[in-house]
Structure 1
Amino acid sequence: MGVGKSTVGELLAERLGTGYRDTDADIVAAQAKPISDIFVDEGEPHFRELERAAVRDAVLGHSGVLALGGGAILDESTRELLAGLPVVYLTMEVGEAIKRVGLNTARPLLAVNPRQQWKLLMEARRHHYTEVARVVVTTDDRTPEEVAEAVLDALELKHLPGSPSAAADAADPRTPDKENPA
């Protein structure tokens, strides 16, 4: 929560010249109401069913950058679906999380004692994130642009020709050509 999945995902899609999709946005659009209302009106188990279906549809029907909600990884079938894909786990410390999402938040799982709830959620989820992630990238004290660069570097992905990073790579003689390594 608050790690920058959506912002970084959009930057990555732009730099790679591909589409971007966010499963939380898919759920909100399909249900015509915010996730916090789904939690209140139908409960977390119902939301998790919607989330599982949204992730399955997105993974099977979208070939670009995909951002998943923070709890999507709790579902075993979702973790199986993600196995072998270039999954990135964006991580941050609790202090940074609180700065980003705030203590007064509309996030249903942080409604009571957000700092403690965030810690508990991360303790329960971290091993699932690391289980499916190909790389882990920290977002603490980094701009979204710096995080996107770190993800591209960690996955050894090329930038879209003409992007600022591709131009910088081409101008830097120290940057190896990944197709024709020296």
Structure 2
Amino acid sequence: MAPRAVLVGPPGSGKSTVAKALARLWDVERRDTDADVEATAGKEISEIFVDDGEQAFRTLEREAVATALAEHDGVLSLGGGAILDDATQALLEAYAAHGGAVAFLDVTLSAAAPRVGLNNARPLLVGNPRRQWMDLMEARRPIYERLATVTVLTDKLTPAQVAREIADAIDCQAD
């Protein structure tokens, strides 16, 4: 068992919303590893960062991704920083090598800002949220691009349009 598609990308790219649209399109379940982490920890991600630190969150996140890749067969969306973990990268590479689709939802700062609000509710965007987001993308973009089997720029698309592009790309790859 493996997900039909795994969605990766930065905050504001639309991973959770697109996952819902893609799951509806394919009539499958969706799963979000951020929600899995919160369920395991019994608290919100921002609280995990404050109470336990980023490293504790990343450990929970790595475990959530590994579990979801092993047991979920619908659409899976990962937290934006999940791809930073070497073990997670290896799992995603193995998944893609066996025909799995990793969709990178790309987005520019100008499109991400209104979606995310770039406020302090996101633990890694505290301080100067626009600068922090740009720094995150500079560090993460090469990883997103390397892991991706499909890339969609989400800036001017609705979640349904992004879902359709992903589905079409995956269907073409399967042919």
Cα distance, 1:99 vs. partner? 1.3
Does residue 78 (structure 1) correspond to residue 93 (structure 2)? The answer is: no
Q: Structure 2 length normalisation: TM-score?
A: 0.87
CA distance in structure 2 between the aligned counterparts of 1:89 and 1:61, rounded to whole angstroms: 21
CA distance in structure 2 between the aligned counterparts of 1:10 and 1:92, rounded to whole angstroms: 18
CA distance in structure 2 between the aligned counterparts of 1:2 and 1:156, rounded to whole angstroms: 26
Cα distance, 1:61 vs. partner? 0.8
Once the two structures are superposed, the pairs formed by residues 30-179 of structure 1 within 5 Å of their partners are 30-83=40-93, 84=96, 85-156=100-171
Q: Secondary structure at the match of 1:156?
A: helix
- Where does residue 4 of structure 2 map in the other structure? none
CA distance in structure 1 between the aligned counterparts of 2:48 and 2:115, rounded to whole angstroms: 23
Q: Secondary structure at the match of 1:142?
A: coil
Mapped contact 2:152–2:166 kept (Cα < 8 A): yes
Q: Secondary structure at the match of 2:76?
A: strand
Post-superposition Cα deviations, 1:72-125, rounded to whole Å, max 9, x if no partner, equal 000111111111121000011011111111132410001110100000000100
CA distance in structure 2 between the aligned counterparts of 1:151 and 1:103, rounded to whole angstroms: 26
Identity %: 52
* Unmatched 5+ stretches in structure 2: 1-10
Mapped contact 2:120–2:127 kept (Cα < 8 A): no
Cα distance, 1:137 vs. partner? 0.3
Cα distance, 1:30 vs. partner? 1.4
Q: Structure 1 length normalisation: TM-score?
A: 0.84
* Unmatched 5+ stretches in structure 1: 158-177
Cα distance, 1:14 vs. partner? 1.3
CA distance in structure 2 between the aligned counterparts of 1:44 and 1:3, rounded to whole angstroms: 22
Cα distance, 1:34 vs. partner? 0.7
Q: Which structure would you say has the larger Rg?
A: 1
Post-superposition Cα deviations, 1:30-84, rounded to whole Å, max 9, x if no partner, equal 1111100100111101100000000000000111110000000001111111111
Does residue 19 (structure 1) correspond to residue 29 (structure 2)? The answer is: yes
Which one scores higher on RCO, CA 8 angstroms, separation ≥ 6?
2
CA distance in structure 2 between the aligned counterparts of 1:70 and 1:143, rounded to whole angstroms: 19
